[in-house]
Amino acid sequence: MEGDSPAGALLPADALRGLLGRPEVLVVDCRFELTRPAWGREAHAAGHVPGAVFAAMEHDLAAPRGPGTGRHPLPSPGDFARVLSGWGFTDGSHVVAYDQGNGAWAARLWWMLRSRGHRHVQVLDGGWAAWLAAGGAVSSEAPSPVPTPVQPRPWTGVMDSSEVEAALARGDILLVDARGADRFAGRNETIDPVAGHVPGAVSMPFAGNVGADQHWLSADALRARWQPVIEAAAGRPVVAMCGSGITACHNLLALELAGHRDTRLYAGSWSEWITDPARPIATGGQA
């Protein structure tokens, strides 16, 4: 399938125009703003790719926060299966996820589907902005998918805080943080109550995976960007984290596009790490 190759993880807007209307194509609108959680649904209602269903980041792609969890815990496999069922998803679906631009939110759905074993999933390169620029049609009609039977499947390639802490102590992983460099250094924390980073983590802001036009860098450029990290990993898994396990998926997609697939997601990320005051915290540059 097209989505099985690293290059196939992205889909240009022009290509999506040619796919609309095919019964196997499932377009998912993942638009979201952290400071305005209701904005994505409002934007979807105002206009979306024709036939696209809406994924609510904090309800469909995350579970409610609980004691000791990060801000966006993964939903249970059963809950996610029910979400997919409501979208009319099947094992034969060709899923195309998009958000407002750079893929920060769409990559979360890409990773979740890949984690449960679904290969044919792509992120729309440039997102909604690219769709409009390409002259894509806009619809405000609410889709009415027919629910389908979807079996729960366990998450794979995911680590929790205790596993990350133990693996770091053994030197078994390379942990990569997708937050901005200022948050990593502990200089500008406006989201979580504690500033800093996990000791031993490497700063790789996800925003560097795209250009100024919000389109993804070429595979060659991504390989060049990520090669120092891959070399530093020296055969160990690269584990991606961020503030809550969402933009970390952007780095995982970038690594896939760069041809590196020995990766994991630290799903709880920084917001989970800091729930235990006994866990160490570092500030400043690389630690």
Using CB atoms within 10 A of its CB, is residue 165 exposed (0-12), middle (13-18) or buried (19+)? middle
Please give the Cα distance from 267 to 77 (Å, whole number).
Answer: 14
User: 58 by DSSP, 3-state: which?
Assistant: coil
Measuring CA to CA, which residue among 40, 44, 37, 42 is closest to residue 72?
37
Note if 249 is an active site residue. no
Asked whether the beta carbons of 102 and 127 are under 8 A apart, the reply is yes
Determine which one of 121, 124, 173, 242 is catalytic. 242
Place of tokens 């099985």: 4
Pairing relationship of beta strands 94-98 and 121-124 according to DSSP bridges: parallel
Contacts of residue 98, Cβ cutoff 8 Å, sequence gap at least 6? 27, 28, 29, 30, 31, 49, 52, 106, 123, 124, 127, 128, 131
Residues acting as catalytic residues: 242
